[in-house]
Structure 1
Amino acid sequence: MGFPKTRDDDPAPDLRPRPGRRAVLTRALGLTAVAGLGTVAAIGAAAEPAAAKDAKLTANQADWRFCTKCYGMFFRGYPTDGACPSGGGHDSAGYNFNLPHDIPETPTAQHNWRFCTKCYGMFFWGYPDNGRCPAGNAHAAAGYDFVLPHDIPDPPGSQRNWRFCPKCYGLYFYGYPTNGRCPAGNAHSVAGYDFVLPHL
C-alpha cells in the first residue's frame, strides 16, 4: 500500500532547510517584545523577511487528535487514520491539538516526540529502540521534532493528562479510569511527565 500524498501540513515534509534553534528562539523573543508596542509591531511584521515568516508558520502543527479506541494521540491529516492497537484505523474525538515543533527544548518542554509513518501515532524517539507499533515491530520516525510542554499550569486552550507509555513509547491520554489499549499488550502504563498540550 502506498503512502498518501503529502500536504502542506504533512508531519513528514520534504527535507527543506529549517532555521536553527537559536534563530527560532531569537525570533520568538523579538516578536514577544514587539507585540506590546502596538503600531510598531505591525510595521515590524510588514518588514519581516520571508524566511522568518515561514519559520513562524511551521512552528505548530494542527490535526493531532485523541483516539477513542486506544486513547493515543494520532495525526488525522490523511485520508486514512493509521493503525490502532484496538484494530482498524484510529477513531478521533475531542480537541484538535496544535503541537509545537522544531523549537528549543526547555526544562518544561521535551523534544524528541515524532510522527510514526506506520501507525500515524505520536511516540518518543529518545531511546535506542523505537517502542512498539500497532502496525508491527517498532515505530518509524519521520517529519518534525515535536517539543511538548509538561508539568505547567494548564492555561485555557490546553489539556493536561497526556502521558508517556514505557511499553510502546506512545503518547496517550491518562484522564480516564482505564488506560486505553497498548500495542505491547493490555493497557498503557504511565511514566514521566504530565504533558499539557495546546489545542485549537
Structure 2
Amino acid sequence: MGFLTVRDEDPQSLPGRRDVLTRALGLAAGLGGVAAIGAAAGPAAASPAKASSPAGTASVRANQTNWRFCTKCYGMFFRGYPTDGACPAGSGHDAAGYDFNLPYNVPETSTAQRNWRFCTKCYGMFYYGYPDNGRCPAGNAHAMQGYDFVLPHDIPETAGTQRNWRFCPKCYGLYYYGYPTNGRCPAGNAHGMAGYDFVLPHL
C-alpha cells in the first residue's frame, strides 16, 4: 500500500461529503429547505468541519491509518510521511503486514487505554502516561505530538484485529510480541514486555 505525504488532520479543513450535499440541497430547495435539512441532519452537518491542530479534540475521523509494523525493531510506527523515522536497528523503519487503523480522541474504557502518542523524532507509537517519555532511537526521550490514541486491549481477536501488541517498559514503545525474539529496543537489546495485550484494528 502507498503512504500519505500529509498528516491526516489536513483534510479536516475541507467540508465533508454530507456538508456538500446539505448545501446543494439547501440551494435547490430555498431557505425553508435549508432549515428542514439542517434539522434532519443534526448539528454535525450544520457547518463544515473545522481545521484543528494534531492535538485538537475536534476531529472528523475517529481513526488514523498508516500505522505499520517494522520488520527490524518490531515496533509500531507511522508511515504517513516521505521518510520512515528512526529505527533502533538502524536507518528508517521497514514496513510490512497490516495497515493498522487506530482509534484516537475517544473515551478510555476498561478495555481501551489512552495516552498512546506519536513521536515526532522516531515516528513510533509510545506511552505518554509517565513523568518521563521513555527512550527514543533518535536520542534521549520520545517527543509527543498529535492525537491521543486509545488502544483496545484484552479483548478477543477477530479477522479485522491483531493481538500480541505490547508495551515495552524500557523504551515505552508499542511492539509486536508474536515472534520468538522481541525485536530491537532503543534502550538496548530486545524489548521487554509488560501490561496489557493490545488487540489492534487493521484494514
- Normalised to the residue count of structure 2, the TM-score between the two structures is 0.76
Aligned equivalent of 2:45, options 43, 50, 58 = 50
Which amino acid letter does the alignment assign opposite residue 139 of structure 1? Answer: H
Q: Which residue does 1:195 correspond to in 2?
A: 198
The CA deviation string for residues 26-66 of structure 1, in whole angstroms up to 9 with x for no partner, is xxxxxxxxxxxxxxxxx99x714237995673200000000
Could you tell me the percent identity over the aligned residues? Answer: 79
Q: Which moved more, 1:88-97 or 1:51-60?
A: 51-60
Q: 1:86 to 1:51 in 2, by over 3 A?
A: farther
Q: Which residue does 1:9 correspond to in 2?
A: 8
Q: Which residue does 1:102 correspond to in 2?
A: 105
Q: Which residue does 1:121 correspond to in 2?
A: 124
Q: Could you list the runs of 4 or more consecutive aligned residues of structure 1 that deviate by over 3 angstroms after TM superposition?
A: 50-57
The CA deviation string for residues 143-175 of structure 1, in whole angstroms up to 9 with x for no partner, is 000000000001220000000000000000000
Q: Does 1:172 align with 2:161?
A: no
Is the CA contact 2:7–2:80 (under 8 Å) kept in the aligned structure 1?
A: no
Q: Which moved more, 1:50-59 or 1:83-92?
A: 50-59
Aligned equivalents of 2:47, 2:144: Cα separation in 1: 26
Name structure 1 gaps, 5 residues minimum.
Answer: 1-5, 17-42
Q: 1:51 to 1:169 in 2, by over 3 A?
A: farther
Name structure 2 gaps, 5 residues minimum.
Answer: 14-36, 50-57
Q: Which residue does 1:34 correspond to in 2?
A: none
Aligned equivalent of 1:77, options 69, 74, 80 = 80
- Normalised to the residue count of structure 1, the TM-score between the two structures is 0.77
Which amino acid letter does the alignment assign opposite residue 8 of structure 2? Answer: D
Aligned equivalents of 2:67, 2:46: Cα separation in 1: 25
Q: Does 1:131 align with 2:125?
A: no
Q: 1:8 to 1:74 in 2, by over 3 A?
A: closer
Is the CA contact 2:166–2:193 (under 8 Å) kept in the aligned structure 1?
A: yes
Count of aligned pairs between the two proteins: 165
Q: 1:61 to 1:53 in 2, by over 3 A?
A: farther
Q: Does 1:140 align with 2:143?
A: yes
Q: Which residue does 1:154 correspond to in 2?
A: 157
Q: 1:56 to 1:181 in 2, by over 3 A?
A: same
